[in-house]
Every structure is written in structure tokens, then in C-alpha cells.
Amino acid sequence: MEEANTTTHVAIIPSPGIGHIIPLVEFAKRLIDHHGSFTVTFIIAGDSPPSTAHRSVLDSLPPSMSSVFLPPVDLSDVSSTAGIEARISLTVTRSIPSLRELFRSLSTEKKLPAVLLVDLFGTDAFDVAAEFHVAPYVYYTSNANVLSLLLHLPELDQTMSCEYRDMTEPVKLPGCVPITGKDFPDLFEDRNDDAYKWLLHNAKRFKEAKGILLNSFIELEPNAIKALQEPAIGKPPVYPIGPLVNLGSSTNESECLNWLDQQPHGSVLYISFGSGGTLTCEQFNELAFGLADSEKRFIWVIRSPSGVANSSYFDPQSQTDPLMFLPPGFLDRTKEKGLVVPSWAPQAQILAHPSTGGFLTHCGWNSTLESIVNGVPLIAWPLYAEQKTNALVLVDGVGAAIRAHTDEVGIVRKEEVVRVVKGLMEGEDGKVIRNKMKELKEGVVRVLSEDGYSTKSLGEVSLKWKAHQLEIEQDTTH
């Protein structure tokens, strides 16, 4: 193949939300650094100008990557109670005409991409890919167990007559942890809801992809991944290429890192609920009291409490000062042991710091992988999206986390906080999980090595993409 002079152009449409962009940027870096000559264009759809956190990610892209903003779409007719997923899907769907315009002008300039990569909610963009003979691919940012559930969703939807939460038996998919209705992702909760309909719509279109890239790795989910790789009609090839995570920048100075430098090795529990997670007032207080009672060291990224678990999704900065919501006396009581950080912290660097010995997480998949890469054991405290299912996979499937249990009204009480924090940081369960994490961290090094499983998987896809670029360059009609 005469690939020496050919640069392959890949276009990526991340779903709105910084949690979606970060892994795709990491993916693009990996592709460019390890798999030959590629340029990547991020095509950004939204219903408003991007947030500061969003911009800072896009402004620091390396030279072989660029970004294009599509005109913001109008979502003023969408009910304020519509779920995030419906808003995300509608944003992508309503951006299709401007995407088509963009592809038209790229085609005139002979700069069309060879590949269009979308994530979970972006499959409507496949229509434009098909019109311009651009190869459609999915980048799946979560794990193999949840991907398997999604690929089976059209069939489950046909065969189940009840709501999934009312199923009497868990769903057992090949190679996967059995999933009971209560651990299904939130989007499956109400089959009449628009969010579920959008999920089903996108899941049905997955089969149109030429391949699905998966941000997981064989040593983390061996059985689920092997089962996904069994060829079947209507199932695109699945390439496990992870874990690809944001490693942060080593030059980043911050109060947290300076504070961590002063703490004993492995002694600090890092607590964060991702880019958008928020707790109710009651839950916020229980966590605060539990942390203080545990007497362990911690860094806690706090947001102003809210009744909606993902209320900060589109903008992680709290509008009011979150410190105001801490119980009276909390800062005084914990000042020797804890650091409270409003809204946002340099998570990648915190997890890589030797003083960090545990992570209480909402189980977002990026956070999970960032912890695994650093061998940091987890407390699973899922809030929304597919986080309950991730928690199940991490606790029952992998053995990498202790689950924080809620009471009958859905609150994790302070006594439970003390149990899981002490259990992870000093108990026997913690030791077992720590050892598992150590194994997984070594596994990460193996799969991402030059000959490793994930590197080879991405190598295989990248060869297909290069071949398609050559084909379209030779086809003058493209």
C-alpha cells in the first residue's frame, strides 16, 4: 500500500458534554501518535456556545487536530423536563443540515474525511456519511458489558412486554455480568420516555457502523469482550482499544497537588462525582458527616447541592458558592485531614499522585479508567446514566470496588459512608481490591504496549481507515 504520502482524515462528532469530548481527544492523540499519518477534525454541535471547560479542551488540541463549531441549534421547543439524552440526541439530529453543508464545502475543497466517528447519541450523522461515501464508525466511551446490553436492546425491546425494572429474572448476556432491572442504565427506566426512544433509535443504528471502537480492554472484561467479538449478522466488528484516558499535564500546579505532596503515601481518598454530578442537600450533609466521622484524609470536589443528580452536566461550575452548603463546623473539624475543592479539580493528576489511595466515584467510565490506569481502588457511588451498571460490573464482575449502599429512600447514610471509607482505606476488603487494581494497572501497561492487544486492535482499524482514504483519493467522484 502506498501510504507514505497519504494523510488520513478522520472527523469526530462528540456528543455535547465535556465527558464526551475528553475521551475522544485522548483517542485522537493515541491514533496520531501510534498509528501513522492522521489528521482529526472535531465537529462540535451544541445549543449554545461551549463552556469554559469545553473551550479549554479544544484550545489545547495539538496541531494535527482542529475543531469546527456547527451553528448552535434551537432547542427552545424542547420541554425543560426533557432528559439530557433527549437534548443531546436532538442537538446532533438538528445539526445534520449544517453537517451536510460542512461536508459539501469540504468535498469542494477535496478535504472530505475518510471516516466519520460518532459516539452513543450521534448515529443520525451516518446519513451524511453515507451521502458522501465516508466510512461510519462508533466510538463507545463506556464498557463492554453496557455495549453488549445496547447491542441487544432492539431485541430486548421486542421481546419484553414489561418495564425492565419489573423483570423477575436478571438479563444474562454472553460473557456479561447478569443485570437485574434495578441495575439497568437510567435510560432504560421508562420505555415511554423520549430518552429511551432516542437510546433505542441510536442502538438500532449501531449496526450500520463499519466498526465499534470500545474504550475498555481485554484484561478488564475478558468474557464480555470475547463475546462481542464473536461474528454475528448485524453486529459490526468490535475493537477494544482502551483504556485511553486523560493523563493531565505534569506541569499543572495546583493547591490540591501541593496539599497532596504533604500527605502520607496512599492515605488520601479522592471524592468526585464527575463533570456534572450533584447531590441533594440531605445527601451532601450525610457525606460530609460520614467523611468527618471516618477521620480519613480526603480531597472532596464539591458542587452546590441540587435535587437533580446531573444538574451540572452542561456546566460544572456551581452558580452559588458550594462552600456555603457545608454543615456548620465541618471545615474546622476536618481542617487537618481534608481539602474541599469547589466545582473542579485536576483529577488526572490527583489520581496519579502517590498520596492518593482511594477514589469515591460516581462510576463515570472515564473516572473509572483513570483510576484503573493508576491502580487506585474505588468506592462505587453511582448517580445517573449507566453508572449503576458500571458499579455492578466493577463490584461483581471485576472486583475493583466497594459499593456504597443507599437506604430505602435512596440516601447513603453517614454510617455507610464511614463503613465504605474505612473498608477501602484500611479494611481487608480494601486490600483485596487494592491487589486487583495493582493487577489491572499492570494489565494496562501490557495492552497498551507496542504488541499489546489494544494497540493491535487500533492498528487493525487504522489500516482499514488508511485503505479507505486511498480508495477515495483514487475515486475522483468523492
Amino acid at 443: G
Our CB check for ligand UDP shows the closer of 19 and 240 to be 19
User: CB of 20: closest distance to ligand UDP in angstroms?
Assistant: 7
Compute, in degrees rounded to 10, the torsion defined by CA atoms 201, 203, 204, 207: 140
User: CB of 387: closest distance to ligand UDP in angstroms?
Assistant: 7
Q: What are phi and psi of 390, to 5 degrees?
A: -60, -45
Our CB check for ligand UDP shows the closer of 129 and 257 to be 257
Our CB check for ligand UDP shows the closer of 188 and 359 to be 359
Our CB check for ligand UDP shows the closer of 19 and 181 to be 19
HSE-up (13 A, CA, CB side) for residue 52: 5
State how far the Cα of 338 lies from the Cα of 346, in Å rounded to an integer.
16
Our CB check for ligand UDP shows the closer of 218 and 345 to be 345
Q: Which residues bind ligand UDP (CB under 6 A)?
A: 19, 22, 246, 272, 274-276, 301, 344-345, 347-348, 364-367, 370
User: CB of 285: closest distance to ligand UDP in angstroms?
Assistant: 21
Tell me what percent of the chain is helix, strand and coil, each rounded to the nearest 5: 45, 15, 40
Q: Please provide the size of the chain in residues.
A: 478
User: In 35-125, which ranges are continuous DSSP H helix?
Assistant: 52-59, 84-94, 96-108
243: preceding bond cis by omega (within 30 degrees) = yes
DSSP state of 165: G
**Helix H or strand E segment including 459:** helix 453-474
User: CB of 256: closest distance to ligand UDP in angstroms?
Assistant: 10
Our CB check for ligand UDP shows the closer of 22 and 291 to be 22
User: CB of 272: closest distance to ligand UDP in angstroms?
Assistant: 5
Our CB check for ligand UDP shows the closer of 151 and 348 to be 348
State how far the Cα of 128 lies from the Cα of 122, in Å rounded to an integer.
11
Provide the β-strand partners of residue 302.
342
User: CB of 179: closest distance to ligand UDP in angstroms?
Assistant: 20
User: CB of 313: closest distance to ligand UDP in angstroms?
Assistant: 7
Which three-class secondary structure state does DSSP give residue 240?
strand
Q: Where are the beta strands (DSSP E) in 205-264?
A: 212-214, 238-240
